[in-house]
Amino acid sequence: MRVPPHLFLAFDPGIKPAEGGLPGLDVLKSTVNSINLFAIIATVGALCVSGVVWAWGHHTGSHGSEAKGKQGALVAAGCALLLGAANGIVAFFSQVGTSVH
């Protein structure tokens, strides 16, 4: 007997995230937290450098440097936003994903 393909879409494998399911979960969380901290510190440095380039370009009349400094400041601000909101973004889309049936 041949099963219609649309019936395969209704199969629920029953997979759900479980806290503490694997050994080393605490080490992984600690590692990701450390990487996030390192990235935030690097972003602060990038914002400082971009601000210096922006100011230097403005005061020397170098419009290209001024534009690159502004661009770097915006990119650093966007990175800071994403790094700070990473948990919330993942939690939001994970919750949206669980509501898909």
In terms of Cα–Cα distance, which of 30, 33, 45 is closest to 75? 45
pLDDT single digits (tens) 47-85? 999 999 999 999 999 999 999 999 999 999 999 999 999
pTM for this predicted structure: 0.74
> Which run of H or E residues covers position 52?
helix 25-60
**Domain edges within the chain:** 27-98
Counting other chains too, the contacts that 93-97 makes at CB distance below 8 Å and 24 or more residues apart are 94/17
* Contact yes or no for 68/53 (Cβ under 8 A): yes
Residue 69 neighbours by CB distance under 10 Å: 21
In terms of Cα–Cα distance, which of 75, 25, 72 is closest to 53? 72
Q: Has residue 17 got a pLDDT over 80?
A: no
* Contact yes or no for 71/57 (Cβ under 8 A): no
Q: 4: which DSSP letter?
A: P
Q: Which residues contact 89 (CB under 8 A, 6 or more apart)?
A: 82
Q: pLDDT at position 59, please? A: 95
Q: pLDDT at position 8, please? A: 60
